[in-house]
Every structure is written in C-alpha cells, then in structure tokens.
C-alpha cells in the first residue's frame, strides 16, 4: 500500500494541475470568441471579393494578363505551414506539420523546397530538419492584424511574380467548430482556374468598368490574394484556440478522474493504517493481560 504522505502529495499536485488546465480553458474560450467573430465576419467578405474578381475576369473574355495566374513548370516550391507559437493544443500543430511533410515527400518530391513558416512551432520543426527556411515572418501571431499579415502575403506574391517560385501552397487548419479543425493544403499561387469557369458562365454578361478593365483587375487580384492569405491565418488562429480549449477541457476531466482514484487510494491507505494501529493496541493489551 502506498505511503499516505506520497499519496497526499500526488493529490495536491493533481489539484494544482487541474486548476491550471481550468484557467487555460477559460482563457482559450475568451480568445476563441474573438477569433471566431473575426473569421465568421471575414468569410463573406472573402467570398464576395472572389465573386467580384471572377465576374470581372469573365467580362475580360480571357484578355487580361494576370501575372499571378501564370502557370509554369514546377521546379521551385514555397510551402507556407501555419501553426501556433505555443503548444498544449492537442494535435493542432502536429497535424499541420504532418500534412506539410507529406506534401513535400509526396506531391513535391524532387522539387526545390523552401519553407515560409508562420508560427514558432513550424519554424522550429523545419529549421531543426535542415530545410531552407525563411525566418522573417514566423512571429506573425504576436499581432494578428491585416497590416502585419499582408507583409508575408506581399513577400510570397512578389517572389512568385519575380519567378523565384513556380508554386506556393498554404497548409493550415480550417475552423469548423470548437471541437473540429480540418487540415487544408491549399494552392495559393498560381491562382486557381475558378476564373476560367466564371468566363464560361459569364461571357454573355455585359459589364461597364471604370476607369478600365485592366486597372480594376490589377487592383482586385492582389487585394483578393492578400485577403485569401489573411483568411487562412484567421482560420488557423480560431482553430488554435478551439483546439486548446478542447484539449484543456479533456485534461481537466482526466485530472478529475485521477483525483477520484488517488482519493480512494488515500482512504484505503489511511484505513489500513488505522486498522494496523488498532491491531497493535489489541495485541499489546492481550500481551499485558496474559502476564
């Protein structure tokens, strides 16, 4: 039977841990509400902006020359994994890192890979494994604002436009609800062929564009790409807080179950100690009575 002092120390330790996990759950819940509001407000705006871009592209009848839609032979790939700066959020980070590694070893095997990590966990993971890592923007989650995030987006876009990379992909957690996050490997550049479908559907529509079709497309495309990039960061941010809230809630429940077992063990040990003392007293009394 375990020593009473040792069991008592374990109980106190688990109680302290449970208090910490409860506090972390409450903090994550508060942050999640703000992050969830941001992403739910961003999604309609992003979708509408993409729809406008598709309509304008359809009206151009394929005549617009969009540098970010240029498709070329893929030799140099920029992978942008989006993780968190901290742990204690279940499989949130490991799922993104696993998906990124799988894409590099499978879809992009034999290509020249460069990693632009967003989040300290991604930076440490790929740096430790000897990848060519761009370490300029991995602390983006210290200030999750459009002004801060767009710097990373502009860097990636300029690198693609200059021909340094032939393909750029985003790997992040898509926020569904508090308990569910889906890992997405999303093509960022070159732009997808959605505009081609829009051309077929909207080619009969007559648009009046001011000041010019080319100017509007030139302004819309970079803005749309930056919004798409920012949306991925917001999705990841909300997913992180949801995953941490779920993980801390489960940890609190597990601590409660462990406390039940430890308290039962403590009571049994205490009862056994009392029984032994009674037996010793009775034995001593019998010994005295025998004399």
Do residues 217 and 56 touch, judged by C-beta distance below 8 A?
A: yes
- Let me know if 14 is a catalytic residue: no
| Among candidate residues 116, 113, 111, the one with its CA nearest the CA of residue 73 | 111
Q: Write down the catalytic residue from 89, 133, 216, 248.
A: 89
User: Any idea what the Cα angle at residue 107 is, between residues 71 and 234, rounded to 5°?
Assistant: 80
Q: Residue 80: phi, psi to the nearest 5?
A: -115, 90
Q: Residue 174: phi, psi to the nearest 5?
A: -85, 130
User: Any idea what the Cα angle at residue 124 is, between residues 136 and 32, rounded to 5°?
Assistant: 85
Q: Return the DSSP state at 141.
A: G
Residue tagged 């919004």 (tokens): 227
- C-alpha 72/C-alpha 167 separation (Å) is 9
- Pairing mode of beta strands 180-189, 167-177: antiparallel
- C-alpha 173/C-alpha 170 separation (Å) is 10
Do residues 194 and 52 touch, judged by C-beta distance below 8 A?
A: no
The alpha-helical segments, DSSP class H, found in 72-193 are: 92-105, 120-128, 146-161
| Among candidate residues 48, 25, 36, the one with its CA nearest the CA of residue 247 | 25
- C-alpha 148/C-alpha 94 separation (Å) is 25
Catalytic positions are 89
């Amino acid at each position: 039977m375990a020593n009473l002092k040792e069991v008592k120390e374990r109980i106190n330790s688990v109680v302290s841990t449970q208090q910490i996990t409860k506090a972390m759950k409450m903090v994550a819940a508060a942050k999640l509400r703000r992050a969830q509001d941001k992403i739910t407000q961003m999604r309609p705006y992003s979708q509408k902006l993409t729809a406008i871009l598709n309509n304008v592209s359809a009206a151009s009848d394929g005549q617009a020359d969009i540098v970010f839609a240029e498709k070329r032979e893929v030799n140099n790939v920029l992978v942008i994994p989006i993780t968190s700066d901290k742990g204690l959020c279940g499989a949130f980070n490991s799922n993104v890192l696993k998906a990124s590694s799988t894409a590099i070893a499978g879809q992009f095997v034999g290509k020249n890979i460069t990693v632009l990590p967003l989040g300290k966990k991604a930076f440490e993971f790929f740096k430790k494994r000897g990848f060519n890592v761009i370490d300029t923007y991995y602390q983006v989650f210290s200030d999750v604002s459009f002004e801060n995030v767009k710097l990373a987006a502009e860097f990636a876009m300029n690198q693609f436009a200059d021909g340094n990379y032939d393909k750029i992909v985003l790997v992040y957690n898509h926020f569904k609800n508090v308990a569910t996050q889906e890992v997405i490997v999303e093509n960022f550049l070159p732009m997808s062929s959605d505009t081609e479908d829009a051309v077929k559907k909207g080619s009969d529509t007559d648009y009046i564009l001011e000041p010019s079709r080319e100017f509007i497309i030139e302004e819309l495309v970079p803005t749309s790409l930056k919004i798409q990039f920012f949306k991925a960061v917001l999705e990841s941010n909300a997913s992180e807080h949801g995953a941490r809230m779920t993980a801390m809630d489960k940890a609190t429940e597990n601590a409660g179950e462990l406390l039940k077992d430890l308290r039962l063990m403590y009571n049994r040990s205490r009862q056994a100690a009392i029984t032994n003392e009674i037996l010793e007293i009775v034995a001593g009394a019998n010994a005295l009575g025998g004399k």
